[in-house]
Chains A and B, each alone.
Chain A
Amino acid sequence: MENYTVEGIKSTYFTPNVTLNAETGECSISGESYLEDTWEFYRPILDWLKQYSEEVKKPIDFKFNLTYYNTSSSKCFLDIVKLLKDYKDVGGEVAISWYHPEDDEDIKEEAEDYKNFLNIDINIIPY
């Protein structure tokens, strides 16, 4: 299975950096997320995770490290976390970390909500 990467661009819209590594299972989304077509951007990421969890079946270590995102983007983050939870529920080894700027409680709360309402482990790390 192929790796998937996107290099973040900050212009009129903000594309985050994306790394999905099929050999190591290390995945990350970082930077800022505000896109012209949010779903178009996140669909390949969800597809990749689905394929990985069905074919590769190795551990996944997913890191979110966002400094800004709009609400449409956060809808996709939830979709990603839900997919990871589904994988975990069928026996996949999943670790999720959510980094947030120390003084940004709004970003921290986003992860707390996924954690509490989905009942999944998320390591929430201020920096």
Chain B
Amino acid sequence: MASKKFSFFHHYLSLSDEDVIISYKGPMSDVIINEISREIQERLSADPKSGKKIYAIFMELAQNIFFYSSESTTLGGKTYRIGSIVLSQEDENYTLTAGNIVDKKWIAVLWDKCEMINSMDRESLRKLKFEQKDKGEYSSDNSKGAGIGLIQIALTSAQPISIEFRDIDEHKSFFALSVNVKKNL
């Protein structure tokens, strides 16, 4: 373990760059999701309309990590997928950023999906969301709604989604998705 030194100092400095409201990295268990979601509701209770959007987007992002992150850990006999979510703010916006490790085969899919979502107007996005739900089946394992989740995130935030990939090794990449919600809606 000595070779994998984690610099808490650098972590601290990078988080201090902007106004971080909540930051989490670790196993994304259902209990953690619940705790963070309640914290979000509490912290943003003075800004209820934007706060509810942040809450709803957080839930989708957390569930994406819960189901799809390709990094996991086993605690007390249970396996949890690992990821990170940061909620920060500046003058006009809240920003939610979610990051996790993905298999490289998903890069093209995620990239195309986000490009498509960002190029569409609200009406077309609503139509696309409806069509994907309409044809979606629950029988297969990969249909817990991840694709629809991204469309819903774009609709809820009403702003473009930005994504980023960083190669980790020949099979894995770090994937980060970031979305803004206007304050005081």
Contacts and interface: CB of A to CB of B under 8 A. Distances in A.
B34 A71 contact: no
Contacts of A82: 134
Contacts of A86: none
B148 to A, nearest CB: 5
B179 to A, nearest CB: 14
A40 B17 CA distance: 44
Given A34-B59, A70-B63, A75 B136 contact: yes
A55 interface: no
A74 B53 CA distance: 16
Interface stretch (B1-9, B78-86, B125-133): B125-133
Nearest to B151: A71
Given A13-B30, A70-B59, A104-B52, A78 B126 contact: no
B56 A68 contact: yes
Given A12-B34, A71-B145, A117-B127, A78 B134 contact: yes
**Interface-centre pick from B49, B63, B133 (highest chain A CB count, 10 A):** B133
A121 interface: no
A26 interface: no
Interface string A70-102: 111011001000100000000000000000000
Interface in A55-70: 68, 70
Contacts of B30: 12-13, 36
Interface string B41-68: 0000000110011011001100100000
A26 to B, nearest CB: 26
B49 A103 contact: yes
B78 to A, nearest CB: 13
Interface string B32-44: 0010000000000
Contacts of B183: none
A75 B48 CA distance: 26
A103 B185 CA distance: 10
Interface of B: 30-31, 34, 48-49, 52-53, 55-56, 59-60, 63, 126-127, 129-131, 133-134, 136, 138, 144-145, 148-149, 152, 155-156
Interface of A: 11-13, 34, 36, 38-39, 68, 70-72, 74-75, 78, 82, 103-104, 106, 109, 113-114, 117
